[in-house]
Structure 1
Amino acid sequence: MSRRRRRNTGLKIILFIVIVCVTTGVIYWKMEPVTDKIRNIVNEKSSIPFTENTIEESAVATQYYYQQLSEDEKIVYKEILQGVQEEQGEIYLHTTAADRVGAVYTSVIYDFPELFWCTGEASTTSYNDYSVMQPLYACTGETREQMKAGIEQAADVCISGMDPNAGTYDKVKYIYEYIVNTTDYDINAEYSQNIYSVLVNKVSVCAGYSRTMQYLLQKCGIEGMYVTGVINETMEAHAWNIVNCDGGYYQVDVTWGDPVFLQQEEDTAQPESNINYDYLCCTDSEIYKTHTVDTEVVFPACTSMAYNYYILNGMYYDTFDADICLNAMNDTIYSGGPQTVFKFANDEVYHQAHDMIINDLLQRAAQNLLQNYGLMQTNSSYIDDPQMDKIVIMWSYQ
């Protein structure tokens, strides 16, 4: 019994010495194995190479996708944003939810169209108390800087042609027309998912069109969101925008404004100057005739028609009046205009007008064209769009 007591007493003394060592800072060589173990545990946690985040809240607070995240996800968002800005190969994140890292990264990409070097692809590995994301970059280093310089120069050229005193709608319309007039739709375009394809290469697809629209809007101080969904008829993935125009939200699909895109999709000849304005500042009810938005994020309702292009330009018809429609065609002919556009308020008005315009009024207006220009024959044509309740008459003066 006495031996056991001596062993117990010795244990108490050792524990006391350890306590004294820790509290006084005095280190005894007999305790080194214990203190080394403690030190290794501390170093293991502190060795996770988290980057000190320097992203200010003011830099992200107004970004739409950022606003949809939880507080914990917002921390990860900032870590990812800083990581890809610095081209980090491994980004250490304060989260173990690997399944949410991809969604947060997508939010970053959707909020910042200028991150053209980010493909949006990444692999993520989660550990006990952190995750590591490895993003895939389309370009890095000197190549990225050269491409960035090309983008900024092209953006400056675009904006230099804009009236600095123009209102918000006129700026939106200018950017819409600029992209349509300077870009060709090409499914095989290089860098087609980012703004470089549009601003520098001048060929792209919907992702490039929409991200460029968003990028140029943001450079003009206009809120623009990148929206994803599908085309109803084909269920193919598609991208477009929602724009804040003087406090009201509007749908904008600049890709579908491009006659090159329309010609490829519909396999019908489209005049190069025939920009489609159906998707410039339209409502939800208009765009959802042809588009379906993804449901992961709730977007602002787009219900205002205050900036409907056809209303603003006297091409919108709530009712059908044959004389008014004939006068519209005659006015176009007398002024030498290239086309007369009839945008009807709904299917009912469109069907009331359709046969009369195509089978009667067009012929009468064509006769006026012959007489006014001394032509032997006319070469007018029309585009009939029942889905969007629109008829476009195109006039030839040769």
Structure 2
Amino acid sequence: MAGFCLPFLLCKNDIPGIIESNNKKETVWMFKKIIKVVFAVLIVITVGLVGVSFFTPKDKDAVTDERLSQIMAEDHFLSNPYSGFSQLNEDERKAYLRLTDKLDNYESTVELGDNKISVDSLNRVWTAIQQDKPEYFWLDSYTYHYDQETSMVTDVNFNYHYNTDEIKRRQGEIDAAVTQIKSGITPEMDDYTKVKTVHDAIVSHTEYDLNSEDNQNICSVFLNNRSVCAGYSKALQYVLKDIGIFSNYVTGNAVGRGPHAWNLVQMDGEYYYVDATWDDPSFDDITREDPALRADPPLNIEYVYFGLTTEELLKNHTFDNTLSTYPGFTATADNYYVRENMLFDLNSADEQTRFLDTLRGTLDNGSVMEARFTEPGMMDRALAGIEESDILNESGVRYLRYDENQVLIIWRP
């Protein structure tokens, strides 16, 4: 007679001491033995699984859902809708936090463990860190390893510009420079005034220089006082972040010039663009091409690119939308010319009078007037009005015009 089998068990005929019998007692005894064998096997399997689970090492560095929720609730910089961090999906955000946890301690190798992501996601995370973290002035580049079967990144290796001792030395000098800038900020100031104070300090103490050292990080501004757009923008972001004002590092292109960087800044509840590089007369094309103006520019600081709307920015900037996309920002209340009452609409006779009176008063005080007009073509009308008033015939009066932005700068050297 053929024997019957249970899964993973011995057949009845294979169990020693069991023989075919019609005896009821022997049949019962046989089933009892089989049941004992089943329970024994199940116990072995269960103990084995529990043992594997118990002895599998836990990923102590894993960023959990709870940690992510806490960050989103408590860190108003990272949770801002326009931060690089906020552009990432949930898994990318966890990897971001895992990487920055290690970067904060100058660790150069990071195992991703339970927070593995794809290569494309790692590129997005890197871009987000670049947008959000100007304080990582020592961070240069990265390499990674990935699992060829899953295409998931297993570990990341960071390359630093300096060793730990040099990082700490430079950080001390940066702290001193930032403390000096912050000394000009008082608690009663609104956001506009705070941002303008920081903007002015950076522009007035920095010379635009394509050959400057460390010009892709904040050391070029705070330590060397010479930089390019990356240094200006990251330095502005660094100080604003330190005083509690959101700012993002934005990259793209300057029309007709190539890659460029500037800032998105939140002031008094609204968002504006600020391009500190282009507000430095040492960068300005007009002053650069005129040796006399370059030697003695009318202003140490300009405000042509302070507090721009999206529409105004897009006249000569384009966005790199690799990671972040921005809506059309339209607020004008904290534009420099609006706040300083230097925006003129010459369609009004009263405004024409105000313009000429303001100009005379400014020149008589030995100051420089920087004015903006509400529509194209109005600058020519302003200059015609100045000429009719004989102001331009006065000794030494000069002007610079920025037609694209409808800005006119007038001074008497």
Q: TM-score w.r.t. structure 1 length? A: 0.81
* Alignment-derived partner of residue 32 in structure 1: none
Distance of 1:249 and 1:344 partners within structure 2:
22
Tell me by how many angstroms 1:272 deviates. 6.1
* Alignment-derived partner of residue 372 in structure 1: none
* Alignment-derived partner of residue 135 in structure 2: 114
* Alignment-derived partner of residue 24 in structure 2: none
1:251–1:279 contact (8 Å) kept in structure 2: yes
* Alignment-derived partner of residue 85 in structure 1: 104
Pick the aligned partner of 2:363 from 333, 338, 342.
333
Distance of 1:285 and 1:335 partners within structure 2:
35
Distance of 1:395 and 1:18 partners within structure 2:
99
* Alignment-derived partner of residue 164 in structure 1: 187
> Structure 2 vs 1, CA of residues 7 and 301 (structure 1 numbering), >3 Å: closer, same or farther?
farther
Match of 1:334, as an amino acid?
A: D
Tell me by how many angstroms 1:101 deviates. 0.1
> Structure 2 vs 1, CA of residues 166 and 5 (structure 1 numbering), >3 Å: closer, same or farther?
closer
SS in 1 for 2:357: helix
Tell me by how many angstroms 1:20 deviates. 4.8
Q: Unpaired runs of 5+ in structure 2?
A: 3-9, 17-33
> Structure 2 vs 1, CA of residues 39 and 395 (structure 1 numbering), >3 Å: closer, same or farther?
same
Distance of 2:108 and 2:53 partners within structure 1:
26
* Alignment-derived partner of residue 132 in structure 1: 155
> Structure 2 vs 1, CA of residues 46 and 361 (structure 1 numbering), >3 Å: closer, same or farther?
farther
1:98–1:125 contact (8 Å) kept in structure 2: no
* Alignment-derived partner of residue 239 in structure 1: 261
SS in 1 for 2:404: helix
Aligned length: 366
2:210–2:228 contact (8 Å) kept in structure 1: yes
Distance of 1:142 and 1:219 partners within structure 2:
23
* Alignment-derived partner of residue 240 in structure 2: 217
Distance of 2:188 and 2:233 partners within structure 1:
24
Tell me by how many angstroms 1:40 deviates. 9.7
Cα deviation, 1:290-321, whole Å, max 9, x if unaligned, reads 11122231225321111222233332122255
SS in 1 for 2:284: helix
Tell me by how many angstroms 1:42 deviates. 9.8
> Structure 2 vs 1, CA of residues 125 and 7 (structure 1 numbering), >3 Å: closer, same or farther?
farther
* Alignment-derived partner of residue 392 in structure 1: 409
1:1-398 superposed matches below 5 A: 20-23=43-46, 46=57, 51-53=61-63, 57=71, 58-59=74-75, 61-63=78-80, 64-93=83-112, 94-119=115-140, 121-127=141-147, 128=150, 130-234=153-257, 236-263=258-285, 267-268=289-290, 269-270=293-294, 271=297, 273-295=299-321, 296-319=323-346, 324-337=354-367, 339-354=368-383, 356-357=384-385, 360-361=387-388, 364-367=390-393, 369=394, 378-396=395-413
SS in 2 for 1:304: coil
Moved more, 103-112 or 342-351: 342-351
> Structure 2 vs 1, CA of residues 8 and 224 (structure 1 numbering), >3 Å: closer, same or farther?
farther
Match of 1:139, as an amino acid?
A: Y
Match of 2:234, as an amino acid?
A: R
Tell me by how many angstroms 1:171 deviates. 0.5
Match of 1:301, as an amino acid?
A: G
Name which one, 1 or 2, has greater alpha-carbon Rg: 2
Tell me by how many angstroms 1:214 deviates. 0.8
> Structure 2 vs 1, CA of residues 323 and 6 (structure 1 numbering), >3 Å: closer, same or farther?
closer
Distance of 1:395 and 1:307 partners within structure 2:
28
> Structure 2 vs 1, CA of residues 77 and 205 (structure 1 numbering), >3 Å: closer, same or farther?
same
Q: Unpaired runs of 5+ in structure 1?
A: 26-34, 370-377
1:96–1:126 contact (8 Å) kept in structure 2: no
1:101–1:124 contact (8 Å) kept in structure 2: no
- Structure with the higher helix share, 1 or 2: 1
Match of 1:255, as an amino acid?
A: T
Distance of 2:43 and 2:342 partners within structure 1:
90
Moved more, 197-206 or 14-23: 14-23
2:91–2:117 contact (8 Å) kept in structure 1: no
Cα deviation, 1:18-77, whole Å, max 9, x if unaligned, reads 655455x6xxxxxxxxx8xx999998x749x77355886134643522112111111111
Distance of 1:196 and 1:61 partners within structure 2:
23
RMSD of aligned Cα (Å):
3.2
Distance of 2:255 and 2:205 partners within structure 1:
27
Moved more, 310-319 or 246-255: 310-319
Distance of 1:91 and 1:220 partners within structure 2:
30
1:243–1:252 contact (8 Å) kept in structure 2: yes
> Structure 2 vs 1, CA of residues 7 and 208 (structure 1 numbering), >3 Å: closer, same or farther?
farther
Distance of 1:101 and 1:172 partners within structure 2:
33
SS in 2 for 1:387: coil
Match of 1:343, as an amino acid?
A: R
Identity of aligned residues (%): 28
SS in 2 for 1:189: coil
Distance of 2:135 and 2:279 partners within structure 1:
23
